[in-house]
Amino acid sequence: MDDFIVARVVHVIAVLLWIGGVAFVTLALMPVIRADQAPAARIKAFHMIERRFSAQAKFWVLLAGTSGFWMVWRYDMWSRFAEPRLWWMHAMVGLWLIFMAMLFVLEPLVLHRAMAAPDPEARNFSRMERVHRALLVLALITLFGAVAGSHGMA
């Protein structure tokens, strides 16, 4: 089997589970926590569940980046980044960089500490919901561009 096919399959599965996880957290988990938890308890409830998902999210993001880089490197597709009609190539890398920064730098070094402070009004949870919604919208725009663009839509 061609290594490009394997890399593309791995890439699609990794993106599916990564962005699917973001969608689940944003559209299902956070609304349930908002509805079922007192404002002061929302962050704690979120972190209890998110802890189990965090390692998976990191794995899928790393795998998506590795497989994407492999395809670009192995098949010398660097010139695609110079073509404006292939804007989704930049969007994929940009989205990946945002999630890498969030998962591996900001979350462990800054966000967990900031979110640990008492928050009786649930402002941190509300901010976190807004960030998740914005990231999901960016991800969906990126996915639209990548799927449409890789199938000939300019």
- Mean pLDDT (10-residue bins), the chain, 154 residues: 89 97 96 94 89 91 97 94 94 97 91 74 88 98 94 78
- What is the distance between the alpha carbons of residues 92 and 142, in angstroms, rounded to a whole number? 6
Q: How far apart are CA 74 and CA 90, in angstroms?
A: 18
**pTM for this structure?**
0.90
**CA separation for the pair 62, 64 (Å, rounded):** 6
Number of domains forming the structure of the chain: 1
pLDDT value for 154: 66
pLDDT of residue 89: 95
Residue 114 is part of which domain span? 3-150
